[in-house]
Structure 1
Amino acid sequence: MKTLLILSHTYWQDSKANKALANAATELDFVKLHNINEIYKDGKIDAEKEIALIKEADFIVFQFPLFWFSTQSLMKEWQDVVLTKIMHSDYSKILQGKKFGIVTTLGGAKNTYDGHHGYTLNELLRPIYYSFKYSGATCIDEFAIYSADASNLPLQEYKNYLKG
């Protein structure tokens, strides 16, 4: 299983939890860490380059801290550029047979996302999942790290999730 870990963090330089997770992911020989904030500092996503990476992957994972109940703007740009290219080209079947999942870090406690404010975490992530499901991928439930603290991360569980 080859895992493509697509990471986005608007404030990557200041990240603690996501940097620690990314470092743990680099210990796994089956993971390709792909930090789009480092690669696309100009904000211009290269769809062909991204599609080439997707072709090689069995499991595609988005990793990001949840900001304002969604992804960072660059990850949304990735979705707009890459998924649109996939759907309107000869690549339209590229996601079939692949798995897709989300790793997200959250500043709030788990009960903050239990729905009592209107939506659960799974409901907030549903548009992302549906985009991949619509494109033919099999979706795996999210791996969420609540009250994210870099000094106390569930690194083994995270590594297990990246196996798909």
Structure 2
Amino acid sequence: MQRSILLILSHPAFERSRANRALLEAVRDLEGVRVHDLYEEYPDFAIDVEREQGLLREHDVIVFQHPFYWYSVPSLLKEWMDLVLEYGFAYGHAGHELDGKWWLSVITTGGGVESYCRAGGNRFTMRELTAPLEQTARLCGMHFLPPFLVHGTHLLNGPQDFRPVGAEYRELVGALRGGRLTPQEVAGRESLNLGGRVLGDG
């Protein structure tokens, strides 16, 4: 089964981004992947709710790619969620438009992997910190996949540093597209990085 993928990119300073730009370049030419840049589409935050809901209806897998801002998502993506995932569409008695679709968060962080644990500076794991996103997906009837994580982006310098994680991301999106991965197979994992690794594990 070939699944259609909507990649919702949310980065308020994408022109200065290295990590998110490298990730996007790794997958944007894949067949069946539609890239939707929220900050490019809505620089004034005037979100076209009906259009966005239409895009969600048309795709099987929704990928939210963004940097981690104050343990959450960039402001425009939060506004998008508040408006687009409305009662009667995404949840509630008659809100079943997203039932069965897949949610994947692709998140970049400046902090290293070691800082996202009980003993680390951020005190919680990424799965714990992304619990609000997981519950949002579940309320909308979606399958929440473990996130794909790129830690320590401030330590990465040139293309050679980003190439491995870009290749991982491309393989993951290809697996989602081609039906080679199911939510049941990855349930309980901390991340969807290959082999359970995250950048910085060595």
TM range (shorter): over 0.9
Confirm or deny: 8 A CA contact 1:25 1:33 kept in the other structure.
no
1:123 corresponds in structure 2 to: 128
Confirm or deny: 8 A CA contact 2:91 2:141 kept in the other structure.
no
Confirm or deny: 8 A CA contact 2:90 2:97 kept in the other structure.
no
Other structure's SS at 2:85 match: helix
1:59 corresponds in structure 2 to: 61
2:80 corresponds in structure 1 to: 78
In the TM superposition, residue 75 of structure 1 has moved relative to its aligned partner by 0.5
Aligned counterpart in structure 2 of residue 155 of structure 1, from 159, 166, 180: 166
Indicate the RMSD between aligned Cα atoms, in angstroms.
1.8
Other structure's SS at 2:86 match: helix
Q: Which residue identity does 2:102 align to in structure 1?
A: K
Q: Go from structure 1 to structure 2 and tell me whether the alpha carbon gap of 1:97 and 1:107 turns closer, same or farther (over 3 Å shift).
A: same
1:107 corresponds in structure 2 to: 110
Cα shift readout 1:19-77 (whole Å, capped 9, x = no counterpart): 12112221211111111010001111111111111111111011101122111000100
Q: Which residue identity does 1:119 align to in structure 2?
A: F
Confirm or deny: 8 A CA contact 1:95 1:132 kept in the other structure.
no
Q: What CA distance in whole angstroms lies between the structure 2 residues aligned with 1:91 and 1:16?
A: 42
Structure 1 unmatched ranges of 5 or more: none
In the TM superposition, residue 13 of structure 1 has moved relative to its aligned partner by 2.1
Range 110-119 or range 75-84, more displaced: 110-119
Structure 2 unmatched ranges of 5 or more: 177-202
Q: What CA distance in whole angstroms lies between the structure 1 residues aligned with 2:142 and 2:92?
A: 17
Aligned counterpart in structure 2 of residue 134 of structure 1, from 130, 139, 142: 139
In the TM superposition, residue 143 of structure 1 has moved relative to its aligned partner by 0.3
Say how many residue pairs are matched.
Answer: 164
Q: What CA distance in whole angstroms lies between the structure 1 residues aligned with 2:92 and 2:54?
A: 14
Q: What CA distance in whole angstroms lies between the structure 1 residues aligned with 2:52 and 2:118?
A: 34
Confirm or deny: 8 A CA contact 1:105 1:144 kept in the other structure.
yes
Q: Relative contact order, CA 8 A, sep 6+: which one is greater?
A: 1
Percent identical pairs in the alignment equals: 34
Query: TM-score w.r.t. structure 1 length?
Result: 0.92
In the TM superposition, residue 12 of structure 1 has moved relative to its aligned partner by 1.6
1:21 corresponds in structure 2 to: 23
In the TM superposition, residue 90 of structure 1 has moved relative to its aligned partner by 9.0
Other structure's SS at 1:84 match: coil
1:30 corresponds in structure 2 to: 32
